[in-house]
Amino acid sequence: MYDVFILGLMTVGISSVVVFSYKIFHSRVYPVGIVRRMPVAQECVDERSAELPASPRRFQQELMSLLEKEWSIGEIADLHLSETDIEGHLQRVKVFAKNYSKQRRPRPQSGREQYRLALRLGETASLEREDSALEVEVKLHSKQFEDFEKRIRRLEIESVQKVQEAAEEKPQPQPPVVH
């Protein structure tokens, strides 16, 4: 009888430890009130998602979008994301995919791959930097012909001048001398 009681207590104790450990591990707050450090990727998502409007309908659409991209319910749950978190993640995936296609690299097939790649390479700030580099390149293009115009004008003058000066230096045919 005593053994059964002890065994019961141990079972309850171990269960409690497991449950609390699980909750603490998946929570941002420790029982003592210290905020656990967020992963870097999560910080980026939170910064971005803070600006996004939270709409239940939009959230449902985005959730459906994730499911259509072959994400399992378990995978979505494992992310432990809020509504705005999911919107933020999706937005980043879209921004990344857009920039990725601009660069004409082989595009990842699934949404999950895009997401992973976005986390690995595509921090939003760096994507924006690439975008502005392209913009600068396009602006340079319009300026580029101005530089060519200067080169062409120089080439026109130099080439014609060269022939004309050679014409002046060419000895004129002398009349035959009769002795």
Binding site for other proteins (CB under 8 A): 102, 104, 134, 138, 141, 144-145, 148, 151-152, 155-157, 159-164, 166-168, 170, 172
Give the shortest CB-85-to-other proteins separation in angstroms.
Answer: 34
Q: How far apart are CA 61 and CA 59, in angstroms?
A: 5
| In the complex, least distance from residue 101 CB atom to other proteins, rounded to whole angstroms | 11
| Of residues 66, 64, 60, 68, the one with CA closest to residue 79 | 66
- Residue among 26 and 150 whose Cβ is closer to other proteins: 150
Shortest separation between residue 143's beta carbon and other proteins, angstroms: 11
CB of 175 to other proteins, least distance (A): 15
DSSP 14-55: HHHHHHHHHHHHT-SB-TTSPBPPPPHHHHHHHHHHTTS---
d(CA 175, CA 101): 76
CB 75, CB 110: distance < 8 Å: no
Closer to other proteins at the Cβ: 28 or 102? Answer: 102
Closer by beta carbon to other proteins, 67 or else 127? 127
Residue by residue, DSSP assigns 133-173 as HHHHHHHHHHHHHHHHHHHHHHHHHHHHHHHHHHHHHSPPP
Kindly tell me which of 128 and 135 has the beta carbon lying closer to other proteins: 135
CB of 125 to other proteins, least distance (A): 22
- Taking the least distance from each CB to other proteins, the nearer of 9 and 134 is 134
Cα atoms in the Cβ-side hemisphere of radius 13 Å centred on 107: 14
Q: How far is the CB of 105 from other proteins (least distance, A)?
A: 11
Identity at 9, one-letter amino acid code: L
Q: Which residues contact 62 (CB under 8 A, 6 or more apart)?
A: 86, 87, 90
Q: Which is nearer to other proteins, 9 or 136 (CB)?
A: 136
